[in-house]
Structure 1
């Protein structure tokens, strides 16, 4: 089972939002409506699936169809899944390659004589950055109106969303005691629903480990956990079910909703709000 810290390290790299060549050479402009789009990053997969026609998609990463990692896994079924090999990309001859960033792809670097149009996207750790990625991707795949419609729909889903956290402390606690800190999408989500992130309160970095004893001593009001750890599958998930933590109310959300800055952000926010309300209702 992969967790946010592992998936994030492998899949979310910084980059600049622009179209440029993969390796030194002349810049190549994508067609207005590209017909052979290849995504080489899990987070890019989800944006391409949301905004491009299926007929435009020539390849996605092998993680695109993994429901534990991708919020758009169902949409990816039946589409070509690539292993990030130079040979596969060369055979497709894409007219747009999308990544975070595409220009750091080892597969593309292995094709020094080829210069494909690229869309380099920034990692999105805030809602405004998600919107920027949506708009950039929609324009690059030839459907800018779809991007605006998706942003409007997400804004509508978040309009009037309450903050039932009411300043209470929550910890996003993962397998093997990993805790997500500030400057992350999880932290932004916590603030949106009215929580204070325990990691920030303790001065922890974006990713840290907190022992079971330290978590019990910190006494957060809520634990937010990945739904994949709702049942014990190994030692990594077993610690989240220790009796010492059973008195702390927990909120469970799929990792696939939060590992990337994607349209699933609004689903995650609304789910957290609903679960807080349900817990508070039981307590009353």
Structure 2
């Protein structure tokens, strides 16, 4: 984030954008959220560079697709060198597009989506920006179809998205949206917790959730932060394990997350 803000400050007078008369030929992505949309919607030849985390499977659900593409190591210098005609992920907020004189770079802000509707909006924005509106609509139609045929969950209950060092994700977040989609109640809402709160082990045990949703990277004890998730007081609580990359940004991986949660709710006890 510090690097993104640095490039924003250094290139503020150069990076602007209005609707282009043709599809951009050199697109650069600045964050993993933008990476995933770009890889799904743009032609490979349009992609000049992806973010530094594009190939990290723990952060990007499209890490496999990112192989073979250039990734940024020094964003401030490299973006100035590449001189893209479209910069996606510029930290202006979701969907921010600023008008500019002809010949300057266009920018499209893409932040982490906090619900499914926001994901669809971002798909349309990126598809329009890269010149492939039809691909955006096709992706949306495919995601809607996949969600529509999800089996009805056989079990519900209260769930807590519990992360390393005892952090719990609250309402108004993408994981909260996923919980509601599959019929679960977010424990954070019952406890009146904010979007992110540190919940001690004792409080989690006393709350007695029906499910713990955890990041798959914490399935094993690898450090002190993950150790508490394997304490005997909470190990009896059934778990739903998801890759962090499926929920950190949203995007097409939202369907994978919804499918995985539903499958776990319908699995034999």
1:164-243 residue pairs with structure 2 within 5 A? 164=153, 167-243=156-232
TM-score (norm 2): 0.88
How big is each residue's C-alpha offset from its partner over 1:200-258, in whole Å with a ceiling of 9 and x where there is no partner?
11000000000111100100000000000001100101110001111100000000000
TM-score (norm 1): 0.84
Kept in 1, the 8 Å contact 2:28–2:84? The answer is: yes
1:69-218 residue pairs with structure 2 within 5 A? 69-99=59-89, 101=91, 115-164=104-153, 167-218=156-207
Report the secondary structure of 1:170's partner residue: strand
Deviates more, 1:95-104 or 1:256-265: 95-104
- Residue 277 in structure 1 maps to residue 255 in structure 2: no
1:65 counterpart (31, 38, 55): 55
Task: Describe the shift of the 1:78–1:243 C-alpha distance in structure 2 as closer, same or farther (beyond 3 A).
Answer: same
5+ residue gaps, structure 2: 6-10, 95-102
What is the CA–CA distance in structure 2 between the aligned matches of 1:11 and 1:129, rounded to whole Å? 25
Report the secondary structure of 2:214's partner residue: strand
**Corresponding pairs, count:** 256
Task: Describe the shift of the 1:102–1:94 C-alpha distance in structure 2 as closer, same or farther (beyond 3 A).
Answer: farther
How big is each residue's C-alpha offset from its partner over 1:142-198, in whole Å with a ceiling of 9 and x where there is no partner?
111000000000001100434527551000000000000000000000000100000
5+ residue gaps, structure 1: 1-8, 14-20, 105-113
Kept in 1, the 8 Å contact 2:28–2:88? The answer is: yes
RMSD between aligned residues: 2.5
Specify the alignment match of 1:252 in structure 2: 241
Shift of 1:102: 5.3
